[in-house]
Amino acid sequence: PYAGWSGDEILAKRKQFLGSSVFYYYQKPLNIVEGKMQYLYDENGKRYLDCFGGIVTVSCGHCHPDIVNAVVEQTKLLQHTTTIYLNQPIVEFAEALASKMPGNLKVVYFVNSGTEANELAMLMARLYSGNLNMIALRNAYHGGSAGTIGLTGLQTWKYPIPQGEIHHVMNPDPYRGTFGSDAIAYAKEVEEQINYGTSGRVAGFIAETFQGVGGAVELAPGYLKLAYDTVRKAGGVCIADEVQSGFGRTGSHYWGFQTQDVIPDIVTMAKGIGNGLPLGAVVTTPEIANVLAQKIQFNTFGGNPVCSVGGLAVLKVLDKEKRQAHCADVGSHLVNRLKELQQKHEIIGDVRGRGLMLGVELVTDRKEKTPAKAETNLLFEKLKDLNILVGKGGLHGNVFRIKPPMCFTRDDADYLVDAMDYAMSGL
């Protein structure tokens, strides 16, 4: 049994010793003390089905034994030195990661988070192109540092500081976007932003293929190909932010960008790459990677032996357990069931995504698409009472984000949908 501090005590100390901007879920936040695969346990031993995986971070499952063992063994042997000495794990992991990438994306820089990965990607894009202006999507989330806050396209996460030379183009959101699924119209707007808002030359373009924080939005089909062409013509490099959508989660492909049939110039990763370890990576071509060689590049913890063996273990587990195919199978079952639920409950405006990267958007009026903010909050609490943890997203917080550890089963999916049905019936 749990012998630590109670949730109430922890909350009181959090309020005293952590910044008040550190937010939590639920009116009475949960004290989670243990995790096992797709389950989390609170201080009272109550078990929850985790449909959000620590914000899409737990890819293989909580405390997956292969990853735990790799980390423990490496920790006992050698925890840290940095890249000033040679050590096998970092290169072994880099080689394995590069083998998962298409085209000439073969050089890896390791960092510690998604924010850092996007900072580095933006730096490389600017140095390589010789230009400053970046293009990003509205409704995007790329980080909270002084640089990446500019890339992020949601006012909820932006502090009023200089936002850099960043232009936010219209979001190719098939549900809410002005042009629906018309990729050509959205791509045209990218061209216009470049022609009217910049010198005509840009450093680069960054996009998540499946917007996570923005509420599980899958970009209009064909958009990235057109946008990449336009940006490359203007001298820019194309960055895919795979922090949430990578590693087979979408089921049909290993990387989110592959669903749009493009090869980016730079790919950034974090979260699921480490199954909970603080780990991020930037993968690019040798040519682009070389722009950093005019100085020296150093990151104290980037690619440290412990995170590297952990990341390598993640890649192996995902292959061994055939998680991409599993995400496709469970995801299609879950989407079908959610679409059936949509027939029954008027409040479900949209069901979207693929694999285990899904969103359910709630509206009070299907025609006006009025965000059902209050109802979402009610259902969110209710689902928690039914032992189910989902995520929330979108500018208005009216989208349920369903992105569980990839070991999530069809039975788990049924349990989730039945619980949503029950909760919605009681509205």
Instruction: Give contact residues for ligand PMP (rule: CB under 6 A).
Output: 55, 113-115, 118, 141-143, 208, 212-213, 241, 243-244, 270
Whole-angstrom Cα distance, residue 269 to residue 279?
A: 8
- Per DSSP, the three-state class of 137 is strand
Considering beta carbons, is residue 244 or 259 the nearer one to ligand PMP? 244
Taking a C-beta distance cutoff of 8 angstroms, is the pair 197, 189 a contact?
Answer: no
Q: Is 173 or 241 the residue whose CB approaches ligand PMP more closely?
A: 241
> Between residues 114 and 305, which has the closer beta carbon with respect to ligand PMP?
114
How many DSSP H helices and E strands does the chain contain? 13, 18
Minimum Å gap between C-beta 141 and ligand PMP is: 5
Instruction: Identify whether the C-beta of residue 195 lies closer than 8 Å to the C-beta of residue 187.
Output: no
Which long-range contacts (C-beta less than 8 Å, at least 24 apart) are formed by 263-266? 263/102, 263/103, 263/105, 264/105, 264/228, 264/238, 264/239, 264/240, 265/125, 265/204, 265/237, 265/238, 265/239, 266/121, 266/124, 266/125, 266/204, 266/237, 266/238, 266/239, 266/240
Q: Which lies closer to ligand PMP via its Cβ, residue 53 or residue 143?
A: 143
CB of 270 to ligand PMP, least distance (A): 4
| Min separation Cβ 55 and ligand PMP, Å | 6
Q: Which residues pair with 266 in a beta bridge?
A: 239, 284
Q: Taking Cα atoms as reference points, which of 315, 336, 316, 318 lies closest to residue 327? A: 318
Strands 47-50 vs 39-42: parallel, antiparallel or unpaired:
antiparallel
- Least distance (Å) from ligand PMP to the CB of residue 93? 18
Taking the complex as a whole, the smallest distance from the CB of residue 140 to ligand PMP amounts, in Å, to: 8
Write down the least CB distance from residue 338 to ligand PMP, Å: 22
- Classify each residue of 300-337 as buried b or exposed e, where b means 16 or more C-beta atoms within 10 Å of its C-beta: eebbbbbbbbbbbbbbebbeebebbebbbebbeebbeb
Residue closer to ligand PMP (CB basis): 246 or 305: 246
CB nearer to ligand PMP: give 29 or 144.
144
Question: Toward ligand PMP, which CB reaches closer, 213 or 423?
Answer: 213
Token representation of residue 304: 């440290």
Of 249 and 337, the one with the shorter C-beta distance to ligand PMP is: 249
For the bound state, the minimum distance from the C-beta of residue 244 to ligand PMP, rounded and expressed in Å, comes to 5
- Provide the b/e sequence for 110-135 (b: ≥16 CB within 10 Å): bbbbbbbbbbbbbbbbbbbbebebbb
**CB closer to ligand PMP out of 122 and 190:** 122
Q: How far is the CB of 175 from ligand PMP (least distance, A)?
A: 19
Look at residues 91, 54, 59, 89 and name the one whose alpha carbon lies nearest to residue 317. 59
> What's the min distance (Å) between Cβ of 400 and ligand PMP?
16
Write the DSSP string, 22-44.
---SSSS---EEEEEBTEEEETT
By beta-carbon proximity to ligand PMP, the closer residue of 55 and 185 is: 55
When CB distances to ligand PMP are compared, the closest residue is 114
* Shortest spacing between CB 107 and ligand PMP, in angstroms: 20
Residue 76 CB, nearest distance to ligand PMP (Å)?
A: 27
Would you say 41 or 210 has its CB closer to ligand PMP?
Answer: 210
Beta bridge partners of 354: 357
| HEC profile of 181-230 | CCHHHHHHHHHHHHHHHCCCCCCEEEEECEECCCCCEECCCCHHHHHHHH
Query: For residue 172, which of 158, 153, 156, 155 has the smallest C-alpha distance?
Result: 153
